[in-house]
Amino acid sequence: MTTLALKHINKTFGSGQNKVYALKDVSFETAPGDLTLILGPSGSGKSTLLTILGGLQTPTTGDMVVNNQNIKKLTQHQRETFRLNEIGFVLQSYNLVPYLTVSDQFTLVDHVKKQDNLDDADFEQVIKQLGIEKLLHQYPSELSGGQAQRVAIARALYANPSIILADEPTAALDSDRVIQVGQLLQSIAHQQNKSVVTVTHDIRLKEFADHIYELVDGELTQVK
């Protein structure tokens, strides 16, 4: 089971007078079975933190440790394999492919990651839990924001990663759906023993979280 840790991470953008300190001495750890919420206002560094956790950006200084192994010591190929097999992203922009039906969004995953995706029974359960079973033949342009978001969550789960990183997964959802998504994220963590890390400013998700952090101006503090 994969444990992910950040140790004294700093991330800056730009230089000189334009230098932005997006993350300041951030240390963080997540283990299987944990649903972790990182709360922070716009511009606090949430997306930067999530993309570093997912290996999409590298920190300026500090270490990232995966299963007790420093990611800096992995080859490029090993890092890509780690990202493909272990990380599932649910991004704010949903990242659905516009010319593919919902059903084909999952088929696409099979082309990129050929093994160990959900079997038919687990897939059916996920799409039922997310209430998207009637949308499988629709195109992304025919979906509401909330529907697209639920499809994006299902697609991340389909690849059966051990770590799910979600960027504002409830932004476009009404309160009933927030409860459903909160319960779903919780059951993925608790019942499937995955690490789920969600960055958000939606405090409605707090009741579902095992651990809560606050990110303010790039500084991370654990509050639960």
Ligand X SMILES: Nc1ncnc2c1ncn2[C@@H]1O[C@H](COP(=O)(O)OP(=O)(O)OP(=O)(O)O)[C@@H](O)[C@H]1O
State the residues that interact with ligand X by CB under 6 A. 13-14, 20, 22, 40, 42-48
The nearest distance, CB 15 to ligand X, in angstroms, is 11
SS3 content of the chain, % helix, strand, coil (to 5): 40, 25, 35
- Which amino acid makes up residue 40? G
20 vs 203 by CB, closer to ligand X: 20
Token pair for 64: 């990232």
* 3-state secondary structure labels for all residues of 12-46: EECCHHHCEEEEEEEEEEECCCCEEEEECCCCCCH
- Report the SS3 class of residue 6: strand
91 vs 126 by CB, closer to ligand X: 91
The nearest distance, CB 39 to ligand X, in angstroms, is 10
Are the C-beta atoms of 214 and 40 separated by less than 8 Å?
Answer: yes
94 vs 106 by CB, closer to ligand X: 94
The nearest distance, CB 131 to ligand X, in angstroms, is 26
- Report the SS3 class of residue 215: strand
The nearest distance, CB 46 to ligand X, in angstroms, is 4
- CA-based max dimension of the chain: 55
126 vs 181 by CB, closer to ligand X: 181
The nearest distance, CB 23 to ligand X, in angstroms, is 8
190 vs 206 by CB, closer to ligand X: 206
